[in-house]
C-alpha cells in the first residue's frame, strides 16, 4: 500500500482528499498533520468522515515512511512547510497551492515541480517526483482551450466568465463566504486580475508559441457551495463539426474529459473528477462551456489523479464517482 501524509488537514481540500483516499484500494492514510489542532480527532473537523476515520487524530509532524505528501496549505505556505520538514528524497510531493505553479518558482532546493494537468503532460507527470496541482479556475479554462492552442487557433482575444461556489475561498469564513452575504447573491471579483490567469497564460504560451491574444477573465462568486461553470468565446473560422472532431481527438486518451452534444449544467459534475465541455458556434465565434467540481477535478481529485500517474496506477483508480444530480 502507498503510505500517504496530508499536511494542512483541516481545510476543504484535505477533507476531500481523505474521503477519496479512504475508498482508494491502493492507498492508505498514515498521517494527517495540523499545526493548529494536534491531538484532536479528525472527524470532528470533517464530520462527513464520522464512522470511517473515528480514531485518527491530527499529528503535529510527519513521521517516517511516507511515500507521498499532499500539501493542503494556504497559498504562500508550501515553501516554508518544505523548509521545516525533513522529507526523504524518495518521498513524492503534490502541492495543492499556487506556490510552485509558475515556471520561475517551480524549484525548491533539490525539488523541481511539474505543472500537474494530466491532459496537458501526462507522460511527464508519470516520471515526476513533485507536482504543482493546477488551480480550479485554471483547470476549467485550460481544458476548454487546449485543443485550440494545440492547433494554433487562438489568434484573437479570448473572453471568459466563470462562476464558482463558496468552497473556492477556503474553509475559514470571510465576509464574502458568510451565508447571509452569499445567499441569494452574486458578485464579480478580481476582474481581469485573477491569480489563475498567470498559469493559464503560461500553459497557453507553452502550447502555442505565437500566442498574442489578450485574455479577459471575469470571475463570479456564486450562491452555492461547490462547482465551477465557465463560458468562453473567441473568433473561429472553422466549422463546429471540425472543432468537435478536434476536441474528441485531443481528449480520446483522457478518461475524465467529455464532450457533450447538448447543453450542460453544473450538477452533472458535482462530486466527480469529470470535466464536461459543450461547444457552440455563433456566426464566426466558437463558444465553449466547461464544468468541473472545484474541490475534486479542480483540487483533490486531480491530485489523486496525479498520484495515480506518479505511482503507475490506473489513472481512474479511486475516482469512479457518481455525480450528485438531484
Give, in words, the CATH class of 136-294.
alpha beta
Q: Which residues are catalytic?
A: 136
Q: What is the DSSP letter of 46?
A: S
Q: Is the pLDDT of residue 112 over 90?
A: yes
pLDDT tens digits for 117-126?
999 999 999 9
pLDDT tens digits for 129-166?
999 999 999 999 999 999 999 999 999 999 999 999 98
C-alpha cell of residue 312: 503507475
Q: Which CATH architecture has domain 2-134+297-310?
A: 3-Layer(aba) Sandwich (3.40)
pLDDT tens digits for 286-295?
999 999 999 9
pLDDT tens digits for 187-197?
999 999 988 99
The helices-and-strands tally (H runs, E runs) of the chain is: 8, 15
Residue 229 parent element (H or E)? strand 228-235
Confidence of residue 94 (pLDDT cuts 50, 70, 90): very high
Entry pTM:
0.94
Domain ranges of the chain: 2-134+297-310, 136-294
Q: Do 4 and 67 contact (CB within 8 A), yes or no?
A: yes
Of residues 232 and 83, the one with the higher pLDDT is 232
Residues 103-125 have a mean pLDDT of: 94
Confidence of residue 168 (pLDDT cuts 50, 70, 90): low
pLDDT tens digits for 255-283?
999 999 999 999 999 999 999 999 999 99
Distance CA 5, CA 24 (A): 15
Amino acid at each position: 500500500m502507498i503510505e500517504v501524509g496530508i499536511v494542512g488537514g483541516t481545510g476543504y481540500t484535505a477533507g476531500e482528499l481523505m474521503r477519496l483516499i479512504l475508498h482508494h484500494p491502493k492507498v492508505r492514510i498514515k498521517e494527517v498533520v495540523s499545526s493548529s489542532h494536534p491531538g484532536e480527532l479528525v472527524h470532528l473537523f470533517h464530520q462527513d468522515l464520522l464512522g470511517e476515520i473515528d480514531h485518527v487524530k491530527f499529528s503535529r509532524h510527519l513521521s517516517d515512511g511516507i511515500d507521498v505528501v499532499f500539501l493542503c496549505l494556504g497559498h504562500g505556505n508550501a515553501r516554508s512547510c518544505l523548509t521545516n520538514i525533513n522529507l526523504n528524497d524518495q518521498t513524492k510531493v503534490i502541492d495543492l497551492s499556487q506556490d510552485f505553479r509558475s515556471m520561475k518558482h517551480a524549484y525548491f532546493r533539490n525539488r523541481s515541480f511539474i505543472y500537474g494537468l494530466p491532459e496537458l503532460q501526462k507522460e511527464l507527470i508519470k516520471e515526476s517526483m513533485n507536482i504543482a496541482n493546477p488551480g480550479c479556475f485554471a483547470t476549467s479554462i485550460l481544458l476548454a482551450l487546449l485543443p485550440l492552442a494545440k492547433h494554433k487557433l487562438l489568434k484573437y482575444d479570448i473572453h471568459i466568465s466563470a462562476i464558482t461556489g463558496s468552497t473556492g475561498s477556503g474553509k475559514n469564513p470571510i465576509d464574502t463566504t458568510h451565508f447571509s452575504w452569499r445567499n441569494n447573491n452574486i458578485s464579480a471579483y478580481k476582474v481581469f486580475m485573477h491569480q489563475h490567469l498567470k498559469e493559464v497564460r503560461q500553459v497557453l504560451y507553452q502550447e502555442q508559441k505565437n500566442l498574442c491574444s489578450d485574455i479577459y477573465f471575469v470571475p463570479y462568486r456564486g450562491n452555492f457551495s461547490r462547482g465551477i461553470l465557465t463560458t468562453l468565446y473567441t473568433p473561429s473560422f472553422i466549422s463546429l463539426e471540425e472543432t468537435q472532431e478536434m476536441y474528441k481527438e485531443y481528449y480520446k486518451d483522457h478518461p475524465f474529459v467529455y464532450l457533450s452534444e447538448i447543453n450542460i449544467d453544473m450538477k452533472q459534475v458535482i462530486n466527480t473528477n469529470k470535466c464536461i465541455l459543450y461547444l457552440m458556434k455563433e456566426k464566426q465565434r466558437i463558444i465553449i462551456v466547461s464544468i468541473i467540481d472545484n474541490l475534486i477535478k479542480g483540487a483533490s481529485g486531480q491530485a489523486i489523479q496525479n498520484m495515480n500517474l506518479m505511482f503507475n496506477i490506473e489513472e481512474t483508480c479511486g475516482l469512479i464517482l457518481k455525480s450528485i444530480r438531484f
